[in-house]
Amino acid sequence: MSQSASELDAFFGARAGRLGVVVGGSLSRGIEVKLDPHTDIEELAAGRYVVVHGRDHDGRHNRFFSMITDIGLGNTNAQITNTPPDTSNPYLAEVYMGSMAYGTMHVSPMLMINKESEVGPVRTIPPHFQPVWTATERDINDVFGHEDEAHFHIGNPLELENTQINVDLKRLTERSVGIFGKSGTGKSYLCRILLAGVISRRSAVNLVFDMHNDYGWEVHNEHGRVDKGLKQLFPDRLSIFTLDPESSRRRNAPYDVVVTLAYSDIEPEDLGALRNTMDISDAMLDAAYTLKRIWKENWIQTFLTADVEDLEEIVETTSINASSMSALRRRLERFQRWGFLTPQPQGDSVKQIIDYLENRTNVVLEFGRYGNSLEAYILVANYLTRRIRDHYVKKVEESLGDRAKEPPQLMITIEEAHKFLEPKIAQQTIFGTIARELRKYKVTLLIVDQRPSAIDEEVMSQIGTRVTALLDNDRDITAVLMGVSGAAGLREVLARLDTRQQAIVLGHAVPMPVVIKTRAYDEAFYMAMGGELQGVHTKRKRKKNSDALYGDDGFDGLD
């Protein structure tokens, strides 16, 4: 041996340790591994990576890059469970553990690196008794590549903190993205990190409906420290719009534009999105359409100021019944409490937002105190998105004849997404339409939600990339993993994530499902984003693999 172990470590990164051998399994269920006696079962964890080496051919072998999805205890004789050996004798304990009593793990093969070092999907499994090793930094880098213009570092694999997991930003933004997790698991941080990546690399322009003022300007985190907002990281690439300038002033948060909307801009379709939130019945919705037809664009204002005789006349001359009309009026009266809705708005806020977006300036729309009103959030998000999407449809169609008119890829971020995308209303809201249209009109969604099970199944199936923090509700876990191969194993992983700074990323933007320790949103991150603005990137090493793995763009949702 001419090279010392440390020299080999320096060259290859940390060396792999053998964990066990393949003893069973199938392509659909995953692989069963019997652990070697020396393997410390407590050192294993669901979500970590292992590599199964295929049969050796002239010193080369396939590598099955896999994730630990379950860990268990086995024995060769059931009697040992009834009469456990005397483990006070250390020799007996050491002999029995690893022979008659042993550890097992279940691993799901995620990718195969063939003998030519090309990465591809798994279409077979290794034979019996092939060795299973811990994944090294080198294995991870072979799969996830290095950070560069198109790939953004969002975290590290568990236990391999010197290795980066990078998402493909182009693929991230060309399909809708979901960020899920129960309350308090850091969804906003995840979202901010992803948005920072998208903004820094300009892979899409963003419109963020910022319900709780989490994204634009600084925010106090739970440790009492102040985290910078995206405006502070990207002052020239992002503008803050606000519906509530008073709140912005109170928070000492600068803003660029105040958004006001006219009553006349509200369409009955916009009320459709509020059907559940404001308990608007079909009869009330029909009444709204009728009133719009009668009173034209000022229908809401006219309705709210109409006297009793006017309303009675409407009831007599139309099919609207009196109770539906009075119920609708009571609901619309709530609009009067919202300062951003006025009879005479200052300027055309929709046009302003579109202009900013077309100039590739990202927009964060802060709701101020109106963020506490779900009705206001849904109404505004739905209203603005409908018009922006209409504009995009027009521009994209025009660009078919003239590529210069092609608008930039737009990603719209909405929180409490299940309120927009419930099965009952997803068919009717603009967000349901965008989610289903895929990238046809260059508009995609970034939905942030804690109840993915409440989102329409068809919409969920069209979410390209899912970033999921801890979920402990079975229905939510099922919803997130719907359509993912090897979901049974991932369930266990998902239910056992830490409550903080851990997430699974799966889908379109990563080569395989991956559990990450999320990148910290701290000074180092701000510095890195500062470096991004000056064009400092590392080079991606294995572009060839990436192309081979992702192939072309023939995506039809998760398989």
Partner 1 sequence: MNGMNNHWTPDQPIGRVLRASTSGFSAGTRISHIEQPEFGMLVRAQPQNGSTREPIYGLLYNIHIDDDPMIRQLVLADSVSEETINDQHHHRLVPVEMSVLAVGFRAYDGSLRHALPPRPPLSLDPVFLCTADEVQELATRFDYFRVVLSSSQVPSEQLVAANLLLAAQTLPAHEQYPFLVSAGRELARLLSNDMARLDHLLRLIYPGEPA
Give the interface with partner 1 as residue ranges (CB under 8 A). 37, 76-77, 79-80, 83, 85-86, 88-92, 94-96, 98-100
CA-wise closest residue to 167 among 464, 408, 522: 464
We find the least distance from the C-beta atom of residue 98 to partner 1, in angstroms, to be 6
| Cβ closest to partner 1, residue 13 vs residue 85 | 85
We find the least distance from the C-beta atom of residue 34 to partner 1, in angstroms, to be 12
The answer to whether 466 touches 506, Cβ cutoff 8 Å, is yes
- Amino acid present at 50: V
| Cβ closest to partner 1, residue 76 vs residue 321 | 76
We find the least distance from the C-beta atom of residue 136 to partner 1, in angstroms, to be 26
The answer to whether 247 touches 262, Cβ cutoff 8 Å, is no
In degrees and rounded to multiples of 5, residue 356 shows phi and psi of: -60, -45
In degrees and rounded to multiples of 5, residue 341 shows phi and psi of: -95, 120
| Cβ closest to partner 1, residue 81 vs residue 124 | 81
| Cβ closest to partner 1, residue 93 vs residue 528 | 93
The answer to whether 218 touches 226, Cβ cutoff 8 Å, is yes
We find the least distance from the C-beta atom of residue 50 to partner 1, in angstroms, to be 23
Question: How many whole angstroms separate alpha carbon 69 and alpha carbon 75?
Answer: 20
We find the least distance from the C-beta atom of residue 77 to partner 1, in angstroms, to be 5
We find the least distance from the C-beta atom of residue 107 to partner 1, in angstroms, to be 24
Q: Strand pairing of 238-242 and 226-227?
A: unpaired
| Cβ closest to partner 1, residue 86 vs residue 116 | 86
The answer to whether 343 touches 265, Cβ cutoff 8 Å, is no
CA-to-CA separations, 514 to 119, 141, 265, 395, 457, in angstroms, rounded: 16, 13, 44, 37, 23
| Cβ closest to partner 1, residue 104 vs residue 260 | 104
We find the least distance from the C-beta atom of residue 31 to partner 1, in angstroms, to be 22
| Cβ closest to partner 1, residue 28 vs residue 83 | 83
| Cβ closest to partner 1, residue 92 vs residue 520 | 92
The answer to whether 258 touches 221, Cβ cutoff 8 Å, is no
Give one DSSP letter per residue of 274-286, joined into a string. Answer: TTTTTT--HHHHH
Burial of 95 (0-12, 13-18, 19+ CB in 10 A): middle
We find the least distance from the C-beta atom of residue 23 to partner 1, in angstroms, to be 14
